[in-house]
C-alpha cells in the first residue's frame, strides 16, 4: 500500500504492494518509497484483502500469481466490497498476452504492468492513476 509523502500532507497516498516474491517486494517498494510513497506490503491474496480493508490504501499493486488466494481472486473480492471497490488496482503479471489483458480489464483493474517492470514505468503508472505529476527524467 502506498502513501505519498510529499510536502502537501493532504496528498498523502498509501499504496499496497502485493507479491509473494520477497525480492520483488523489496525492489519495487524501494522505488516507490524513493518516489515519495508510503508502502505497505502483503505476500498473499488473503493478506492483501485484509490490509486493504484495514488500511484503506489509495492504490493497490496486485501480483496475479499468488499462493492460496491468487491475485485474480483477491482483486475480485476487493471489487465486490463496497468499502474498498473504489481503490484503483494495477495488475502485475508476467503474462501480458492480449487475452489476459482483456481478462484483467473485465476484472476491474485500472491498469496492468508486465513483469519485470522498469522503475520509470511503475512510477509513471502510479502517478498517472493517482493524479500526481511525474517528474521529467533527469538529463544525463
The domain segmentation of the chain, as residue ranges, is 14-130
Q: Does domain 14-130 have CATH number 3.40.50.2300?
A: yes
| Angstrom distance (rounded) from CA 31 to CA 50 | 24
How do residues 50-78 score in pLDDT, each as one tens digit?
Answer: 999 998 889 999 988 888 889 999 999 99
Is 91 in a helix, a strand, or coil?
Answer: strand
Under 8 Å CB-to-CB from 99, ≥6 apart: which residues? none
In the predicted structure, residue 24 carries a pLDDT above the cut 60:
yes
Q: How many CB atoms lie within 10 A of CB 130?
A: 16
pLDDT at 11: 36
Amino acid at each position: 500500500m502506498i502513501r505519498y509523502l510529499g510536502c502537501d500532507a493532504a496528498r498523502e497516498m498509501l499504496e499496497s504492494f502485493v507479491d509473494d516474491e520477497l525480492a520483488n517486494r523489496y525492489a519495487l517498494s524501494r522505488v516507490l518509497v524513493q518516489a515519495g510513497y508510503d508502502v505497505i506490503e502483503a505476500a498473499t491474496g488473503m493478506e492483501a484483502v485484509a490490509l486493504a480493508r484495514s488500511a484503506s490504501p489509495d492504490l493497490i499493486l496486485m501480483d496475479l500469481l499468488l499462493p492460496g488466494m491468487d491475485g485474480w481472486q483477491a482483486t475480485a473480492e476487493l471489487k465486490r466490497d463496497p468499502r474498498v471497490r473504489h481503490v484503483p488496482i494495477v495488475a502485475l503479471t508476467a503474462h501480458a498476452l492480449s487475452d489476459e489483458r482483456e481478462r484483467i480489464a473485465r476484472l476491474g483493474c485500472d491498469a496492468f504492468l508486465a513483469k519485470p517492470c522498469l522503475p520509470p514505468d511503475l512510477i509513471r503508472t502510479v502517478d498517472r492513476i493517482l493524479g500526481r505529476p511525474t517528474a521529467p527524467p533527469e538529463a544525463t
